Amino acid sequence: MFFPEIETPQNTKILVVDDDPAIRESLKAILSSDGYQVYTSKNGKEALEKLFEINPDIMLVDFLMPELDGISLCKIVKNNPETVDIGFILITAVNDLNTRIKGLSAGADDFLNKPFFIPELKARINSISKIKKYRDFLKNYQKVLEKEVEKKTSELQKLYLKLQVAFNEIKELSLEIIYRLAKAVEFKDMCTGFHIHRISFYSTKIAEHLGLSKEQIEIIKYSSPLHDIGKIKIPESILLKPEPLTKEEWEIMKTHTIIGAKILEGSKTKYLKAAEKIALLHHEKWDGTGYPYGLKGKKIPLLVRIVSLADAFDALTSDRPYRKACPVETAFEIIKNESGKHFDPELVELFFKIKNEIIEIKTLFQDEKST
C-alpha cells in the first residue's frame, strides 16, 4: 500500500474565520511565516461564500460570531460530503466541558483556546494538516482502486468473451466430430444418414417432455447418435446380410455394444461419457432380457432407456437389409405391446402422448427408401 508524501506547509491552505480583525491578521501573520497559504473571513456567512473557491485543508473558526457562529458553520461543513474532510478547529475563549461537547457533536476535529500559545497553535495545525492529507490520500486511493478494479474487470470481461468464443469453437468442433463419427457408421450400415438425426430428435423430444434439465437434454441430443458406433467393427457380411443371422453371427452382432463402449471409454467430455453408456447399454430391456448385462428396470440409466425406445421405433420404421420398414401405426402398436417388457412403461406412455410430434420428426427426416 502506498502512503501519502510528508506534508509541508506550502501546500496546505488554511481559512481563518473570526469577527475580530486583529485576531484574523495575527493568525495570518503567524501561519504565513511558516509557509501556510492563509485566507481570512470575517464571519461564517462570508466563509461559506469562499469555501468552494478556496477549498481549504483546515478551518480555524471562532466559536462566537454574528450571523453564523462557529458551531453552526461546523455543522454545515461537516454535513456536506464535499467538505466533510476539512480539518475544523474551533477557537474559543470559553474553556468549559459543555462548549467542547457541542463542538464535538457538530463535528469539530480540535479546539484552540484564547489567548493563543503559539507552539500549541502550530502543533495543532500540523496535526490536523496530517490527518486531512491522509484522509485525502485514502479518498484518492479508493478512486485509484476503483479505476483499477474497473480496468481489471473490463480486461476480465474481454478475456471471458475470448474464452467463450474459444469454448464455443471447441464445442462446435467436438460436436462436429461426434456427428461425423456417427456418419461413418451410417455409411457402413448403408443408411442414408437421416437415421442419426431422427434418433437425436426423437430422444431430445422425449427428454424435453420428461422435464429434464437443459444440460441433460443437450447431452442426449449430441450423445445419442453414437449409440451404434460399435458397428464399425462388425463385418459387413453380418451387418448387411439380407437373411436372418445365425446364432453365431448374432453373438458377433451383439458385441457392437461392448466395442462401442471401448471406442468411447476414458473421455472427459460429457457428451462422450454419456455416449459410452448409451452405446454399451442401449440393447438392455426393462424386463432384464436384454444384453450385454441383462440389466433390469431403473438399473438401466434413464438416458439409455430413452435412446433405446427412440432407436427401436426408428428401426421398426426404417428399411433394413433383411426386411422392409413397418408402417408407423404398426410400429406404435409394437411399442405399446412391449411396454413393461422391452421398454420403460412410463416412457411408452409419454411416447404415445407426443405421438404427433414423433411422426412430424419422422416425416421431416424421411429416408427415400422408407415407407
pLDDT of residue 94: 73
β-strand 87-92 against 37-41: which pairing, if any? Answer: unpaired
- In the predicted structure, residue 148 carries a pLDDT above the cut 70: yes
Residue 359 pLDDT: 96
Backbone angles phi, psi at 16, to 5 degrees: -95, 125
Structural domains present in the chain: 9-146 (3.40.50.2300), 189-364 (1.10.3210.10)
pLDDT range class, residue 2, cuts 50, 70, 90: very low
Q: Position 356: which residue type?
A: N
Q: What is residue 313's predicted lDDT score, i.e. its pLDDT?
A: 97
| pLDDT band at residue 129 under the 50/70/90 scheme | confident
Q: What is the pLDDT of residue 4?
A: 47
Residue 23 near residue 51, CB atoms below 8 Å: no
Residue 192, pLDDT score = 47
Single out the residue of 229, 198, 227, 213 nearest to residue 305, CA to CA.
227
| Least confident residue range of 104-118, 279-293, 353-367 | 104-118
DSSP codes of every residue in 206-247: HHHHHT--HHHHHHHHHHGGGTTGGGGGS-HHHHT-SSPPPH
Lowest mean pLDDT: which of 7-16, 83-92, 149-158, 197-206? 7-16
Residue that has been written with the C-alpha cell 462446435 in this structure: 172
Residue pair 313/367 in contact (Cβ under 8 Å)? The answer is: no
In percent, the amount of the chain with pLDDT more than 70 equals 91
Q: Say yes or no to pLDDT of 361 above 60.
A: yes
pLDDT the model gives residue 319: 83
Q: Is the pLDDT of residue 18 over 80?
A: yes
Higher pLDDT, 354 or 96: 354
Asked if pLDDT for residue 3 goes beyond 60, the answer is no
Mean pLDDT across the chain, nearest whole number? 87
Q: Average of pLDDT values for 185-197?
A: 67
Higher pLDDT, 210 or 191: 210
Lowest mean pLDDT among 34-38, 150-154, 285-289: 150-154
User: Does 182 score more than 80 pLDDT?
Assistant: no
- Average pLDDT on 53-78 reads 92
Q: Alpha-carbon distance 325 to 369, whole Å?
A: 9
Q: How far apart are the first and last CA of the chain?
A: 78
